[in-house]
């Protein structure tokens, strides 16, 4: 079941006021992703749907994956994503999906963002803003409905992550391919590549098992440990770089972690001992350490929480985070 809270317009509700406590959306879902003023879900039948707010249909860039003629200015209730474009450019019925990834605005109020979908066969589709080539389609033209991305060597996508203007795709080869902006090293391609509109795995990492992206930085886990790359203005890479970006993957810690997640400009690492390290921007208290000070290395205060923490969650548009705790056996 899907429970929601927060800004109603982001889930397509026109009722007044914010949702202050979790509300049962009365939908069975397999996956969900919250972006800037919109939400993507995979329903129980593996179809994808979208809901949210559009400031202007004139500037709408396709991140909903639905044609503008089927949308309204303002709040849009849940709509199915019925079509995609395949590799040969034909519009076909949308497949069954296993993951949706909603994006974050390139800058606040721009309305420019993109979305990524993975189907049950491991094919990847992208739609929306493409000014930096972040749709991985070999050009910088926006797309209104999801367009299939050609993966190399018949590889299948395991998961995807998106930032403001870049995309990461993890395949069954254990490689991570990136496209879009690399101006701050968020793709891990070094100093010489500012952007790419085609998939590029020049980050050099192999054996990657999971990925997460913030506004303009990335975390990747391999069998060797956790690697970070991209912007570090607020210390969101959990290491000291003098505020400079990390342009190639840098090993942060060994493989002693349980899970990790990154928000817009903050990061969270759950260790095997169930402690949570947090770092980065903290203006809204999103580091959970009881302060509003930015920090490259602090800890979420877990005083009074006796249950074992088993996972942490955030997302590229998130200015908050949450964790999952196991219920104590009596």
Question: Range with the lowest mean pLDDT among 4-8, 14-18, 24-28, 71-75?
Answer: 4-8
Residue 77 has pLDDT above 80, yes or no: yes
pLDDT in tens, 163-183: 999 999 999 999 999 999 999
Pairing of strands 114-119, 124-128: antiparallel
Summarize the confidence of residues 82-107 as an average pLDDT. 96
Tell me: the pLDDT tens digits for 317-326?
777 676 666 6
Q: What is the pLDDT of residues 10-61, one digit of tens each?
A: 555 666 676 555 556 666 778 888 888 898 999 999 999 998 999 999 999 9
Residue 232: pLDDT over 60: yes
Q: What is the mean pLDDT of the chain?
A: 89
pLDDT value, residue 165: 96
Report how many helices (DSSP H) and strands (DSSP E) the chain contains, helices first: 0, 26
DSSP assignment of 254-288, as one string? -S-EEEEEE-SSEEEEEETTS-EEEEE--TTSTT-
Cα 153 to Cα 14, 150, 157: the distances in Å are 46, 9, 12
What's the CA gap between 145 and 232, in Å, rounded?
Answer: 33
Contact assessment for residue 193 and residue 202, using Cβ atoms and an 8 Å cutoff: yes
Q: Would you say residue 233 has pLDDT above 80?
A: yes
The model's pTM = 0.91
Classify residue 199 as exposed, middle or buried by CB count within 10 Å of its CB (0-12, 13-18, 19+). buried
Predicted confidence (pLDDT) at residue 9 exceeds the cutoff of 70: no
Number of Cβ within 10 Å of residue 254's Cβ equals 9
234: tokens are 């607020």
The predicted pLDDT at position 320 comes to 66
């Amino acid at each position: 079941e899907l429970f929601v809270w927060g800004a109603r317009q982001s889930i397509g509700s026109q009722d007044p006021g914010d949702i202050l406590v979790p509300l049962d959306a009365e939908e069975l879902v397999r996956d969900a992703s919250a972006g800037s003023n919109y939400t993507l879900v995979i329903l129980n039948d593996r179809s994808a749907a979208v809901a949210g707010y559009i400031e202007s249909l004139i500037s709408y860039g396709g991140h909903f994956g639905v044609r503008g003629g089927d949308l309204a200015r303002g709040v849009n209730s849940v709509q199915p994503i019925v079509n995609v474009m395949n590799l040969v450019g034909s519009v076909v019925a949308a497949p069954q999906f296993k993951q949706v990834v909603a994006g974050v605005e390139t800058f606040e109020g721009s309305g420019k963002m993109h979305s990524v979908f993975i189907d049950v066969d491991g094919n990847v589709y992208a739609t929306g803003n493409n000014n930096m080539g972040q749709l991985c389609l070999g050009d910088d033209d926006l797309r209104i409905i999801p367009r299939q991305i050609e993966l190399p060597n018949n590889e299948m996508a395991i998961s995807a992550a998106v930032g403001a203007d870049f995309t990461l795709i993890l395949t069954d080869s254990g490689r991570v391919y990136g496209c879009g902006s690399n101006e701050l090293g968020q793709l891990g391609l070094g100093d010489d590549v500012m952007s790419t509109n085609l998939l590029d795995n020049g980050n050099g990492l192999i054996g990657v098992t999971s990925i997460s992206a913030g506004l303009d930085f990335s975390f990747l886990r391999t069998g060797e440990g956790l690697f970070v790359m991209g912007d570090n203005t607020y210390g969101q890479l959990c290491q000291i770089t003098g505020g400079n970006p990390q342009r190639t993957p840098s090993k942060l810690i060994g493989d002693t972690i349980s899970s990790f997640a990154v928000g817009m400009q903050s990061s969270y690492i759950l260790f095997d001992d169930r402690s949570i390290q947090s770092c980065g921007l903290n203006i809204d208290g999103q580091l959970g350490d009881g302060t509003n000070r930015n920090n490259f290395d602090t800890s979420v205060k877990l005083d009074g929480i006796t249950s074992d923490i088993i996972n942490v969650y955030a997302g590229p548009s998130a200015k908050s985070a949450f964790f999952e705790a196991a219920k104590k056996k009596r």
